[in-house]
Amino acid sequence: MSGGAVQVGEWAKIVGVEHSPPETQRHRAELVGCLALVTGAAPGDSFAYVRLSEAVLDGRAGTPRRRWLVAWEDLTYEAEPVKLVPLELGYQLGAQGSGRGRVSHAVEYGSREGAERAVAVCGSGVKPLFIDDWPLPFSADDQYACAACVAVYRRG
């Protein structure tokens, strides 16, 4: 297999469908360029089971279909995408300070990109963090997480 770098449990980009089964090739337009999690190796070493990061419509069935069989050769390794937390779940990450003095706070979603200041759930003034348009999620496992924010987060 060419790419060779992708393994089960890793994220990959579908860069083509030329080596994939005919069923997959018929959906070239929707699939090429998609990110997918490699969930298993099909018998015979040629194909991988993948789960798309976004539902891709199966034109014939008319229902979102996420699982596909793709040739290893049609996949290239991609770093795991930033986990996007649905807006109704969890909190956005807000930072205070930097480096070792950094503290991570939880901010209610709704802060817009470019917003310089927001108020964390513990009452601290923080800077909401984004990657492009996406707010970074607050994680209670963050070693710099604010204890008061973690307590609010855990209460749900």
Q: Which residues are bridge partners to 65 per DSSP?
A: 56
Contact 14, 24 (CB under 8 A): no
DSSP 8-state class, residue 27? T
Number of residues that bind Zn ion (CB under 5 A): 7
Contact 23, 69 (CB under 8 A): yes
Q: Is 122 in the site for Zn ion (CB under 5 A)?
A: yes
Q: Print the binding letters for residues 43-82 with Zn ion: x by CB under 5 A, - otherwise.
A: ----------------------------------------
Contact 6, 48 (CB under 8 A): yes
Residue 23 gets the label, from left (phi > 0), alpha (psi -120 to 50) or beta, of alpha
The span of 21-29, 70-78, 97-105, 135-143 binding Zn ion (CB under 5 A) equals: 97-105
Q: Is 107 in the site for Zn ion (CB under 5 A)?
A: no
The span of 15-23, 31-39, 75-83, 144-152 binding Zn ion (CB under 5 A) equals: 144-152
What are the residues binding Zn ion (CB under 5 A)?
105, 120, 122, 124, 146, 148-149
